[in-house]
Structure 1
């Protein structure tokens, strides 16, 4: 892990993901960032799309308001792209895993494609 020439810092990504709020994580997104989420409910032909930091902040507030832990398992950075794996666990033992590919501009996330799955 580490930092790219673009200034994206994987250690900050870890602190953001593993923190108690989404504030650090939100700071890594550009104002015009877009996240596309694919899962059981929002399949590839109709992903959930979040546009801009306000939408992303709302999602992070929801996620970090839940009784669960988050862990950055892996992160690979190459130039203006990165990929990471995140695992989460609710207090009742239900687990969630997500894989993300991100595009960076000036050290900020501009695009993220997230695929997630959880125990049912």
Structure 2
């Protein structure tokens, strides 16, 4: 994957961060003033979960990475100050989650992310 031309956003680091055992590397990819929106069955488009800043994003990542599950970066595309990726996850009991993200980047850091996710029920 590597770094896209003209962008300091490193997709190899994104892969290691997502697939790693702890959220610290993933958190380092976010700008201090980043905003993250989550749309799913519980937080639908008219009322998404919105996190502001690295501290709120860190709380969510700490929760997610404390669960008994694996994460895999499936695809990632970077073009200029935009990126998109798909992530698949699986809990130890076999429940699967699929999440697609759209990113806006600034100086190689994520400043806006929208996640749309679905999981087995």
Bin for the TM-score computed over the shorter chain: over 0.9
Corresponding residue SS for 1:112 = strand
CA distance in 1: counterparts of 2:72 and 2:80, whole angstroms: 23
Deviations 1:59-108 (A, max 9, x none): 00000000000000000000000000000000000000000000000000
Aligned counterparts, 1:33-72, within 5 A = 33-72=34-73
CA distance in 2, matches of 1:73, 1:53: 24
**CA RMSD for the aligned pairs?**
0.6
Q: TM-score, normalised by structure 2?
A: 0.98
**Deviation (angstroms), 1:2:** 1.8
Name stretches of at least 5 consecutive residues in structure 1 with no aligned partner.
Answer: none
Tell me by how many angstroms 1:6 deviates: 2.6
Return the TM-score normalized by structure 1.
0.99
Cα distance in 1, alignment partners of residues 40 and 64 from structure 2: 15
Structure 2: which 5+ residue stretches go unaligned? Answer: none
